[in-house]
Amino acid sequence: MAKKGNQADTKLLMIENLQVEVEGREILHHVDLEINQGETHVLFGPNGSGKTTLLMATMGFPDYQITGGRILFKGEDITSIPLNERANLGFGLSFQRPPTIKGVNMRQILEICGKGDKDVESMARSLDFDEFLDRDLNDGFSGGEIKRSELLQLMAQNPDFLLLDEPESGVDLENIALIGKVIEKLLERETVSQKGISRKELKREREKAGLIITHTGYILDYVDADIGHVIIAGEKCCEGNPREILKTIKEQGYDECVRCCGLNTGALSKDKEIRSN
Amino acid sequence: MQTQKEEKEALAKEASDKVSTYGTDIDLEAFSAETDPHPYQEDLSAFSQTEQSQMLKAGVELTAKNRSGTFIQKDLSVVHASTSQDGIEVMDIEEALEKYDWFHQYWWKAVPVDMDKYTARAELHQEHGYFIRSLPGTSSIYPVQACLYMEEDNLAQDVHNVIIAERGSELHIITGCATAPHVKSGLHLGVSEFYIKKGAKITFTMIHNWVEGVAVRPRSATIVEEGGLFISNYVCMQPVGTLQTYPVAYLVGEGATARFNSILVATSGSVMDVGARVYLKSKGTRSEIISRAITTGGKIIARGHIIGEVPGIKAHLECKGLILTDEGMIHAVPELEGHRKDVDLSHEAAVGKIAQEEIEYLMARGLSQEEATATIVRGFLNVDIEGLPPELKAEMDRAVEVSEKSLL
């Protein structure tokens, strides 16, 4: 389904006609998505619309069963390869609600993420998180601490493709700027200009790409994104300028997306039904 | 008039058929009570390679590097006893019995001689054991190590140990029990009595390295006086036939503290019934009992019993079990007993499998399923022990690490 076959070399991720089931129930129906190298995409959608399902299925979690379509990464079909192999190919995911793992501390997980050859101390300091290095993973962490922990792990992992599930949720205003800054850095989108390199050149050289789920859209105040998508009731119904999409949602709600995309008006109530389950 | 010796003997004789409350009953007649003596060895490097490696797995370092003293008993013979620090005594218990006229004050004073047939047998058939003591105000710079080694097949080893930390002293002990690899069966009965005087401290780390088919029935008790501290760490991750032990601590002095940590791994065929019981008998006493149990096919009963007898005490019991195969069984039995309104007793118990969510989380960071499982299991067994010297923490970590390899 690639629209421009001649640009295949810059295609990082291609999701084609993807169908995903969770506990025997189809959540995603025929979703297509393409992300080029250096691009950051944003996924909008009401609660229960299938955003997290798309992220989890892309990452390869076994509970998210792909029943149709395929996923290509760097030109390779990865539809059926396991989670950890995707991580090793360059996928990095920030969990919204990560589990606590007792007896495994922050330092250990960073060594795991960095394959043992990263300076985890200074990375932790850069996120003002060095005091947490000897704490058990996510044990008693606040919402903001969980985000910092997740991003720190991604820093150590240094993935080519980032999957971020609501990175702004549960973060207070003071910390959201810091989180935004780290995400920009991970995506090679820092606005600090480097000597002798124009922004255009920077953009061309950028390799990292990302897919960010946002429910509120706040993260767009801190992280620049290239393309936005709207998912409603398991279908991708819109693709375009992320700020324009956000503006429409803020002003008119997802009802406007339903109308604009010509979806069945029951689509949103279906989401609500999913959510309440 | 009856002497103390005669009195204890009489009690033991009466109890010689008394079945224990816990653990399967063992036929004591099935084991031999005699074997050839082993020669005393001044030089620790004279032990065979096999002995050295078996003992090392139980934390006993025969180079004696970083140790304040060493005691080794092989079968029924004391083959080595030495100390390298003034104020720390390490000797054959028989020697202490002769040397000190006050010794009877510590003989069967913490553990009742007629508790069950095993204590009775230890009295009637006792062959040696160790005496370790720190003199008032002394601190053992390095841990003292003791090893009870079983070389002869189908032998009953009955030892009686007494450990005393005099006022204001500090004693760190690592005990390893091990068997020669060719041993198929055997019985180990060990009576251990600990006396911790005012302001003194004992850390006692015991690593067991048995083989399938060995029956183990340690009986131990500790009396802690005012401001004293007892830390007991028990590690048993190797196969064993049947193991049952339920050490007790009596916190008799104000502000005394006892902490028990146990790490158990039961492979298929092993039965482990391990607990700890603490009586809080004085104001401001504290206790904590923590156990981590993993089964890969064996049966584990993890007990804990805290008895708060006076107001103003605080104790916590934590018992966690991981079941890695469907053949295994873990039975957690946490008991809290409060006798006054102002006691603070709590417990936490959880038994189950490794959460899939945790495995997937680590897989998302690039670990394979096996690596993720190993990391979680290692974390589960990683009990943080306050007050344990780094050398002993390292020994415990090493014991855990050695066993992990065969576990996963």
Q: Is the dihedral of CA B239, B240, B245, B249 positive or negative?
A: negative
Per-residue CA distances from B88 to A127, A180, B170 (Å): 49, 60, 10
Residues of B with CB under 8 A from a CB of A: 355, 357-358, 360-369, 372, 375-376, 378-383
Over residues B158-175, mean pLDDT:
96
CATH (domain of A119): 3.40.50.300
Mean pLDDT, chain B, whole residue set: 92
Q: CA of B357, closest CA in chain A: separation in Å?
A: 7
Residues B217 and B189 sit within 8 Å (Cβ to Cβ): yes
- The string of pLDDT tens digits covering residues B11-51 is 999 999 999 999 999 999 999 988 999 999 999 888 999 88
Residue at A121: amino acid letter: E
The confidence score (pLDDT) of residue A152 equals: 95
Task: Write down how long chain A is.
Answer: 277
Q: What is the pLDDT of residue B108?
A: 96
Average pLDDT rounded to a whole number, residues B246-274: 96
Q: Does A87 lie at the interface with B, CB-CB under 8 angstroms? A: yes
Residue B283 domain boundaries: 4-355
* Same-domain check for residues B111 and B175: yes
Residues B88 and B187 occupy one common structural domain:
yes
pLDDT tens-place string over residues A144-184 = 899 999 999 999 999 999 999 998 888 888 788 888 999 99
Mean pLDDT of B384-408: 73
Q: Which of B259, B263, B209, B210 is closest to B234 using CA atoms?
A: B263
Whether B364 and A103 lie within 8 Å, measured CB to CB: no
Q: Quote the minimal CA–CA distance from A246 to chain B in Å.
A: 30
pLDDT exceeding 90 applies to what percent of chain B? 78
Residue B113 in this model has a pLDDT that exceeds 50: yes
B48 and B76 co-located in one domain: yes
B378: which chain A residues are within 8 Å (Cβ-Cβ)?
Answer: 103-104
What DSSP line would sit under A122-167, residue for residue? HHHHHTT-GGGTTSEETTT--HHHHHHHHHHHHHHH--SEEEEE-T
Least confident of A51-55, A212-216, B195-199: A212-216
Q: What is the pLDDT of residue A258?
A: 83
Q: Is the pLDDT of residue B64 over 70?
A: yes
pLDDT of residue A9: 58
Q: Is the pLDDT of residue A1 over 60?
A: no
- Cβ distance of B365 and A83 shorter than 8 Å: no
Residue A274: the pLDDT is 46
Provide, as residue numbers in chain A, all residues whose Cβ is less than 8 Å from the Cβ of B372. 84
A153/B contact by beta carbon, under 8 A: yes
Question: Do B42 and B164 lie in a common domain?
Answer: yes
Q: Which of A132-136, A255-259, A263-267, B339-343 has the lowest mean pLDDT?
A: A263-267
Q: What percent of chain B has pLDDT over 70?
A: 98
Task: Over range B278-296, report the average pLDDT.
Answer: 96
Q: Does the CB of A116 have a partner CB in chain B at under 8 Å?
A: no
Asked if B218 and B336 sit in the same domain, the reply is yes
One domain, residues B77 and B56: yes
Please name the residues in contact with B44: beta carbons below 8 A apart, sequence gap of 6 or more.
Answer: B62, B63, B64, B70, B80
CA distance A40 to B18: 76
Cα–Cα distance, A46 to B141 (Å, whole number) = 64
Domain count, chain A: 1
Tell me what pLDDT residue B37 has.
93
For residues A68-82, average pLDDT: 95
Query: How far does A199 lie from chain B, in Å, by closest CA?
Result: 32
Q: Is the pLDDT of residue B268 over 80?
A: yes
User: Is A109's pLDDT higher than 90?
Assistant: yes
Nearest CA distance, A136 vs chain B (angstrom): 9
Q: Which of A176-185, B155-164, B250-259, B286-295 shows the lowest mean pLDDT across its residues?
A: A176-185
- Cβ contact A99–B375 (<8 Å): no
> Looking at beta carbons, which residues of chain B come within 8 Å of A104?
375-376, 378-379, 382
Residues A41, A46: Cα–Cα separation, whole Å = 17
Number of folded domains that form chain B: 2
B120 and B170, same domain (yes or no): yes
State the average pLDDT over residues B187-202: 97
* Smallest Cα distance from B321 to chain A, Å: 13
Same domain, B318 and B257: yes
pLDDT of residue B104: 93
B398 has a pLDDT exceeding 80? no
Q: What is the mean pLDDT of residues B322-332?
A: 92
Q: Which pLDDT does position A195 carry in this prediction? A: 64
- The DSSP symbol for A226 reads S
The answer to whether the CB atoms of A103 and B365 lie below 8 A apart is no
Q: Which of A235, A219, A259, A257 is nearest to A18 (CA)?
A: A235
Q: Is A98 on the interface with B (CB under 8 A)?
A: yes
User: What local confidence, expressed as pLDDT, does residue A4 receive?
Assistant: 42
Q: CB-CB: which of B361, B363, B379 is closest to A95?
A: B361
Tell me which residue range forms the domain holding A96: 5-276
Residue B164 has pLDDT above 80, yes or no: yes
Residues A196-202: what's their mean pLDDT? 71
Q: In terms of CA atoms, which chain B residue is nearest residue A60? A: B364
Shared domain check, B398 and B340:
no
Q: Is the pLDDT of residue B374 over 50?
A: yes
Which of B323, B338, B355 is the last residue before a domain boundary?
A: B355
For residues B323 and B330, give the distance between their C-alpha atoms in angstroms, rounded to a whole number: 7
Share of chain A above pLDDT 70, in %: 89
* Domain identity same for B343 and B364: no
Residue A97 near chain B (CB below 8 Å): no
| Tens-place pLDDT, residues B85-112 | 999 999 999 999 999 999 999 999 999 9
Q: Quick check: A263 contacting B, CB < 8 Å? A: no
Same domain (yes/no): B270, B364: no
Q: Is residue A264 pLDDT above 80, yes or no?
A: no
Q: Which of A91, A104, A146 to mutate to test the interface with B (most CBs of B within 10 A)?
A: A104
Q: What percent of chain A has pLDDT over 90?
A: 61
When the pLDDT of each residue in chain A is averaged and rounded to a whole number, the result is: 87
Q: What is the ipTM of this complex?
A: 0.91
Min distance A106 CA to chain B CA atoms (Å): 12
B380: nearest CB among A103, A115, A153: A103
At A6, the pLDDT band (50, 70, 90 cuts) reads very low
The strand pair at B257-266 and A101-105 is best described as unpaired
pLDDT of residue B221: 98
Question: Smallest CA–CA separation between B103 and chain A, in Å?
Answer: 44
Whether A112 and B362 lie within 8 Å, measured CB to CB: yes
For residues B23 and B150, state if they share a domain. yes
> Given this model, what pLDDT does residue A169 score?
84
Residue B157 is predicted with a pLDDT of: 93
Q: pLDDT grade, residue A84 (50/70/90)? A: very high
Domain edge (last residue) among B355, B371, B397 = B355
Contact residues on chain B for A83, CB-CB shorter than 8 A: 360, 363-364
Q: What is the pLDDT of residue B1?
A: 53
The answer on pLDDT for A271 being more than 80 is no
pLDDT: which is higher, A55 or A174: A55
Sign, Cα dihedral of A157, A161, A164, A168: positive
